[in-house]
Structure 1
Amino acid sequence: MSADRRKPVMVIGLGRFGSAVAGTLERMGHEVLGIDVDPEHVREHKDILTQVVEADSTEISTLRQLGGADFETAVVAIGTNLEASLLTVLALVDMGLPNIWAKANTDRHGRILERTGAHHVVFPEKTMGERVAHIVNERLLDFIAFDGEFAIARLKVPKPIAGLSLIGSECRKRFDVTVVGVKRAGEDFIHAVADTIVFADDELVVSGRIRDIERFSAI
């Protein structure tokens, strides 16, 4: 998220996704106002977040009373209640918030959120599902997709390039992937340069198109 570190963030919906977002923002130094209709969720976060309130976020008057209009960034993490999700986004739009993030469970939900006025729509379950699918094949150790067809991945050094320098392996020329980092057992990741030699037990961090990363990992 591009929320300004110096400004507070409002997180609405403190289920698993919202709780993770809110807690991470707090650890990053943001002040976080958490809002949820479930009193149990509110109790769970009272010692974690800057402020947490039990309230109905679908009512614009309630959000105004909580100072919602003073925020620039809000995260609507309501996933299961479609009506509450949409009405909350609509209330935030009506208040003029310039940076509204919203969680969607389905493509249809996401399209409606966009039309309602959400500036950014995220699909955490879909994203995690894709990530797990790429890791399950056992060639990739970690995988993060972005922009649809591009990704950053962590993988074991493919056997054909073990013992070669990166320039000698011609990873970029032959496979259209860029090796950006190398990890050796017991050492920190190092930034990869052309004359970096990679060994069989190393791990690589590579970037490129998803199909090219998969092809590279399979050589």
Structure 2
Amino acid sequence: MKSKIKKTYGIIGLGRFGTALAVHLAESGSEIMVIDASEDSIRKLRDYTQYAFVIKNGLDKETLEATGIQDCDVVVVAIGENIDTSILVTLHLVSMGVKRVIAKATNADHGEILEKIGAEVVYPERDMAERLASRLLSERIQNLFELKGDIDIAEISLPDSFAGKTVLESEIRKKYKLNIIAISRGKDVITEIRPDEIFDREDKLIVIGKSENIRKFEAET
């Protein structure tokens, strides 16, 4: 099933997280393979991929290899309820030579074991809670998107002190190490940001940079 053009993704475990991930990847045009013990869960995904497997009798290494999941560029282990199975499946995938294995963890101990095996670890519930907390605690940040690691994209209401100033005069890059990638102005979105662009009081800035710098900007302006 491997594509020479696009990456292929395997998802093992079709709970809410795994299903949402699979649907999003498929709708973006990516090729996916899904595995779950539930026929009902697999049936829902058959409209998105022909590589959908029901495996009820254990996810041993030989069974996984028979599906061809080792040919995927990335495999996500979205098994959260059964920690033993999550760890064992992750171990099998790493030993099978999957290029990138990402595993969902339910707690810190689970995540530590997964990392030692060789997987990248995600904490969906914790990460969602942290993003929501960030939005609730920041008065001027309307939207916050974690791009990678500690890099965020945020939409921030224009500070009053910036109204009437140019982008260059604001010194946002110099003082806060943030780059403006767009300005939302009423119904318009300006994406070609000139140094002499003058800010309007109702503007919203879409910026990219380290999360700590976004927080500093929001707190100091």
Q: TM-score range by the shorter chain?
A: 0.7 to 0.9
Separation of aligned partners in 2, 1:162 and 1:50 = 54
Task: Name the counterpart of 1:13.
Answer: 13
Cα RMSD of the aligned pairs, angstroms, is: 2.2
Task: Name the counterpart of 1:192.
Answer: 193
Task: Name the counterpart of 1:159.
Answer: 160
Task: Name the counterpart of 1:68.
Answer: 69
Task: Name the counterpart of 1:40.
Answer: 40
Task: Name the counterpart of 1:51.
Answer: 51
Task: Name the counterpart of 2:214.
Answer: 213
* Structure 1 residues 130-169: aligned runs within 5 Å: 130-137=130-137, 138-145=139-146, 149-169=150-170
Q: Match of 1:33, as an amino acid? A: M
Task: Check whether the contact 1:77–1:102 (CA below 8 A) recurs between aligned residues.
Answer: yes
Task: Name the counterpart of 1:124.
Answer: 124
Deviation at 1:36, TM superposition (A): 0.7
Q: Match of 1:92, as an amino acid? A: L
How many pairs does the alignment contain?
216
Deviation at 1:189, TM superposition (A): 4.2
Task: Check whether the contact 1:143–1:154 (CA below 8 A) recurs between aligned residues.
Answer: yes
Separation of aligned partners in 2, 1:169 and 1:7 = 41
Task: Name the counterpart of 2:82.
Answer: 81
Q: Match of 1:132, as an amino acid? A: L
Separation of aligned partners in 2, 1:4 and 1:104 = 31
Separation of aligned partners in 1, 2:5 and 2:114 = 25
Q: Match of 2:114, as an amino acid? A: L
Deviation at 1:82, TM superposition (A): 0.8
Deviation digits for residues 82-122 of structure 1 (CA, Å, limit 9, x no counterpart): 1111111111122221211111222222211111221x222
Percent identical: 34
Deviation at 1:80, TM superposition (A): 2.0
Q: Match of 1:123, as an amino acid? A: Y
TM-score (norm 1): 0.87
Deviation at 1:6, TM superposition (A): 2.3
Q: Which runs of 5+ in 2 are unaligned?
A: none
Q: Match of 1:159, as an amino acid? A: D
